[in-house]
Amino acid sequence: MKKNNVFSGKWSEVEHGKKFQRGHMPLTDMRDDNGLGCGAFRVKPGKRSVPMHWDLCNDEAVFIVSGSGALTVGEDTDTVVAGDFIMLPRGEQYARVLVNDGDEDLVYLCMSTMIMPEVVHYPDSGKLGVLGSKDFWSSGEAGVSGFYRPNRVGYWDGED
């Protein structure tokens, strides 16, 4: 049995520009051959952890541990609060972004089916993310993985 605790574990921090910030704690080991991945995210007020995106291959789900935020899925925006569980299926109609519009940190768990390779579309910047393996986020390089427009670009390009 493997056990992690979001209240006592180690968080890594990432910030980009004025809109993006996240603390992240992997709760599953991507090196294991699991069909389900899960990570904890902590987002400061006024920030978002990732850009608006939709997945081609993977379904995701979010469970709000604490705080509140505005979750936009497609054209609809709704408030999410501690205790909410939200299913986020793959597909363009489920493009989503979660923004902490509250006064305290927003902490949530994000689960994914971890099907690889994965293609992620970022509609606000016109990018595609091609993730060749589960270890892309930990290593930064994985085969043909990258973020692309007509030419390869970095993850944060166009997200300012």
In the structure encoding, which two tokens stand for residue 59, read together? 């379904």
Gap between the Cα atoms of 107 and 129, Å rounded: 25
Gap between the Cα atoms of 153 and 128, Å rounded: 9
The residue assigned the tokens 């940190």 is 105
Gap between the Cα atoms of 111 and 54, Å rounded: 14
In the structure encoding, which two tokens stand for residue 99, read together? 């923004």
Alpha-carbon dihedral sign for residues 72, 35, 38, 22: negative
Query: Which residues, including other chains, have CB under 8 Å from residue 70's CB and lie 6 or more apart?
Result: 77, 78, 79, 80, 98, 99, 101
Question: Quick check: 68 and 106 in contact, CB under 8 A?
Answer: yes
Q: Domain map of the chain by residue range?
A: 12-115
CATH superfamily for 12-115 is Jelly Rolls (2.60.120.10)
pLDDT tens for the chain, residues 1 to 160: 788 899 999 999 999 999 999 999 999 887 777 789 999 999 999 999 999 999 999 999 999 999 999 999 999 999 999 999 999 999 999 999 999 999 999 999 999 998 888 899 999 999 998 887 666 555 544 455 778 876 778 889 888 8
Helix (H) or strand (E) holding 40, with range, is: strand 37-43
